Amino acid sequence: MRIALGQFNATLGDLGGNVEKMKGMWAQAAAAGAELVLFPELAICGYPPEDLVYKKQFVRDNRAALEELAAGVGNSPARARGQDARGTTAVVGFVEGSDDGLYNSAAVIQEGRIAAVYRKTLLPNTSVFDEQRYFRPGDRPLVVESGGLRLAVTICQDIWDSAWLGGFLAGQGRIDLLLNLSASPFHVNKIVQRCAVVADAARLFDCAVAYCNLVGGQDELVFDGRSILADSTGRTVTKAKAFEEDLLIADIESSPAAPGWEKTAPAGGGATGIRTPRVPVRPLSAPVPQPRDEVQEVYQALVLGTRDYTLKNGFRQVLLGMSGGIDSAVTAAIAAAALGPQNVLCVTMPSRFNSPETIADAKRAADNLGCPLLTIPIEPILKSFHASLQADPRWNNQGLAYENLQARIRGMILMSLSNQIGALVLTTGNKSEVSVGYSTLYGDTAGGFSVIKDVLKTMVYRLAAYLNERAGCEVVPDSVIQRVPTAELRPNQKDSDSLPEYDLLDRIITGYVEQDRSARDLVESGLPAGEVERVIRMIDRNEYKRRQSPPGVRITAKAFGKDRRLPITNRYTTVVNSKSEVNSKPK
């Protein structure tokens, strides 16, 4: 059997657009001789549809779109060339409405009609998933025959519990190919987990596995594609492109005989054995390059997430404050790669506290990227605000409120420009700052999308080095990378005046936020007790800021937002020593 995996970028709610993309891929697959084409989970409507599924008309329209897809392939380009796409079976994800509730389902389409439906049985309800809020679990396996093979249909989470899956499919007879429709969001190194899960399933059933994943950005989530074809030994034979649409095509054969062993002679002499798969997979094209490491993964995820959030929400241009620091330089570089440098307006807003070096670096970074740069000094505005605020005798220009006023003026300028020119404001705060509240509400948090919200400061530096290596020149000026981090809101200010050094801070954040470790556990692991307690207090007391911050690209296994949902009003703490004070104030 020749199979195709149609990994495409679905836009949530764009039922017609998603159907047209699948029609095109279906036609390409048929033209290549494919007998079966597999599409991702909930491909008709996009993933995750969230409360849209409570709208009865949405569910009806989603079903109508599925039926249009089934009927429409008879008029496909392939059919016009004498190749009938109706002869190609397709498996497509959709929301199924029934008298007893809603199901996350897969339709098997044959000869222009829906021939069978499988309902997802394991519904994830952790991390970014809350499918049990919306869907009922299925309870029946689906095994169909096509091209002489016996195919078992599964959806995403169904394949992640091999012990359960073994029991679920027990009694179904021989399985040659396990199909999995997936919408598995990206985080760093997630592909390693997926390959292991696919391998487990392949070995369990002694069958090949076709795992078709979604690609594209949806709010905070990014789906990285990288659909997988594995043979019955569990070996990943080929993967689709990372962070791009792709049509992955391969031939799959099946033998009723048990697998054998081939003797091979390695270069060093002697002999070894290679297990011959009962169900081999033979791709039609050479493997495509994959990200080389986690930094390249993160970069590609940020670019895709920024592009899709911007364009899918109707924007064509973005703007951001360009401070001369590393966060804004990296954010601008990602935006330029996502949208083209001509569509990224960099705005520098100096005050008397900004050094000539950072002002020059802001211009240098924008010039390196080819982005337009607008300079709007805030000193006159700051003086006017200060004079007006002196109506309250308690106001002065010596403290934190005055520092934050500068950030709020900058936020107001950016939002005013956005309102006038219709460009999306990108905020430039990183995860280290977001975690501890080292930001100003309605100031540097003002905007529509936070590109590096889930990127720790130490990773920001790695991204800057990668950008320069990738370009073969200084995209992010070396002076920016080497400069001691500073907000420049008062003379001689450094981030380390208020925070631990970023190497230490990021280790604490990783442990407390991403791994849910307690203060005691972190201290016992060797981290300094005083700093652990101080940082945890900062994180806990700044939940209210994070709730009011814009969404951003999720790149870790636990990001703020859909992943980590804590109450704002909350007296619980894991800090051991309650005498520790926080060297930070709410802003």
In a domain, 7, yes or no: yes
Q: At what angle do helices 294-312 and 326-339 cross, to 10 degrees?
A: 60
Q: Is the pLDDT of residue 262 over 70?
A: no
Annotated catalytic residue within 45, 156, 195, 346: 156
Question: Is there a single domain that holds both residue 269 and residue 329?
Answer: no
Question: Where among 478, 495, 512 does a domain terminate?
Answer: 495
Spot the catalytic one: 41, 220, 297, 533. 41
> Both 326 and 370 in a single domain?
yes
Q: Is residue 562 part of a domain?
A: no
Q: Given a cut of 50, is residue 583 above it in pLDDT? A: no
Q: Note the pLDDT tens digit of each residue in 392-449.
A: 999 999 989 999 999 999 999 999 999 999 999 999 999 999 999 999 999 999 999 9
Evaluate whether residue 373 is within a structural domain.
Answer: yes
Band (258; pLDDT cuts 50, 70, 90): low
pLDDT score for 587: 54
- Our answer to whether residue 41 is catalytic in this structure is yes
On whether both 286 and 411 belong to a single domain, the answer is no
Does 222 lie in the same domain as 106?
yes
Do 300 and 286 have their domain in common? Answer: no
Last residue of a domain, one of 258, 290, 322: 290
Q: Is 469 a catalytic residue?
A: no
The enclosing domain of 326 has a CATH number of 3.40.50.620
Q: Residue 428 and residue 430: Cα distance in Å, rounded?
A: 7
Nearest alpha carbon to residue 119 among 177, 185, 23, 41: 41
In the chain, the number of structural domains is 2
Residues 411, 347 share a domain: yes
On the CB side of 364, CA atoms within 13 Å amount to 18
Cis peptide before 48, with omega less than 30 degrees from 0?
yes
Q: How far apart are CA 205 and CA 49, in angstroms?
A: 32
Same domain, 226 and 325: no
pLDDT, tens only, 519-559: 999 999 999 999 999 999 999 999 999 999 999 999 999 99
CATH number at residue 71: 3.60.110.10
What is this structure's pTM?
Answer: 0.91
Domain range for residue 190?
2-290
Residue 302 falls inside a structural domain: yes
Residue 584 resides in a domain:
no
Are 194 and 128 part of one and the same domain?
A: yes
Query: How many Cα atoms occupy the beta-carbon half-sphere of 439 within 13 Å?
Result: 31
My answer on whether 317 and 346 are in the same domain is: yes
Asked if 20 and 94 sit in the same domain, the reply is yes
In a domain, 126, yes or no: yes
pLDDT tens per residue across span 288-327? 999 999 999 999 999 999 999 999 999 999 999 999 899 9
Of 21, 35, 45, 120, the active-site residue reads: 120
Half-sphere exposure of 358 (CA within 13 A, CB side): 24
Give the burial string for 543-572 (b: 16+ CB within 10 Å, else e): bebbeebbbbbbbbebbbbbbeeeeeeeee
Same domain, 452 and 365: yes
Same-domain status, 271 and 372: no
- Tokens 């997936």 sit at which residue? 182
Domain assignment of residue 534, yes or no:
no
Instruction: Let me know if 120 is a catalytic residue.
Output: yes
pLDDT band for position 81 (cuts 50, 70, 90): very low
In the sheet that 149-155 helps form, which strands lie side by side, from edge to edge? 143-146, 149-155, 177-182, 208-213, 228-230, 236-239
Residue 258 lies in a domain: yes
| Residue at a domain's end among 447, 478, 495 | 495
